Amino acid sequence: MQMFIVISAIISLVAAEPAQAQKDLPCDITCTTYLKYAFQHGLAEDDVSGWCTSGLDFCYSGNCMTDCEFNLHEGRHWNNVDCRQVCRGAMGGRQLEEQKVEVEAPAPAQKDLPCDMTCPAYLKYAFQHGLAEDDVSRWCTSELDFCYSGNCMADCKFNLIEGRHWNNVDCSAVCHGAMGGRQLEEQKVEVEAPAPAQDDLPCSLTCTTYLKYAFQHGLAEYDVSKWCTSGLDFCYSGNCMADCKFNLHESRHWNNVDCSAVCHNAMGATLLI
């Protein structure tokens, strides 16, 4: 019941205030998240989140505010799109200059997100803010495979601190939630319930995040996060709750999977009524 009350309150505020960017995540995540949010909530007529890192390349072009205002406001008349949210942390933009005062320490990991999201986000942040000389975010899930190797802390310290002398990189943030790591053992006391959905993020992110979480924490036997936006298409089918219960509870007997978290902000879902 409490979940329904909270979500109802969120819905009443959504139209009035765009989703706030997460202060400790890099532009390529916050920009993409915000533009998907803008599309889903009618602030933009099309999903142009691809422009964050390609096309107009908002995050890395060095001209984000100008390009955003010219293309989204003047060109498409999407006047309710907040270019400050689009350009938060963008390279060479005014937002980056404003953030230099705020960002005095490495970004903390989000406690309710899985390693394969927090690790790349942190290592991209570390590269953009000069803590690391190269972007090695791919090492989170390939090559050194920080998240799944079972040796994250040792590999991080050996390769990043001792090997490359990136002494300001925080291996505890890199390895947050990594499988087999000390960080995961410490979190077992904290994580007694499924990760809550982020209220201001769209279903395509929260659903994917939750189902990856469910797999990593044994609530689901395998990773079906792709079903959020393809296959069963939980987020956009309009039948999320029914499809979730039938396919995950009744068919697979994954009774600990929380369909209210899977369907948070899903289009046409009973949660939005």
Q: Which residues, 6+ apart, have CB-to-CB distance to 172 below 8 Å?
A: 109, 153, 183
Mean pLDDT comparison of 98-102, 196-200, 262-266, highest-scoring range:
262-266
Q: What is the pLDDT of residues 63-119, one digit of tens each?
A: 888 889 888 988 888 999 999 889 888 886 433 333 333 333 344 444 557 788 778
Q: Kindly give the interhelix angle for 203-216 and 115-128, rounded to the nearest 10 degrees.
A: 120
pLDDT tens figures, 33-42:
888 888 888 8
Q: What residues does each domain of the chain span? A: 14-102, 115-187, 203-272
**Cβ neighbours of 39 (radius 10 Å):** 18
Residues 159-182: tens digit of each pLDDT: 898 888 899 898 988 988 888 643
**Alpha carbon distance, N-terminus to C-terminus of the chain:** 14
| CA gap 244, 255 in Å, rounded | 11
Residue type, 125: Y
DSSP label at residue 128: H
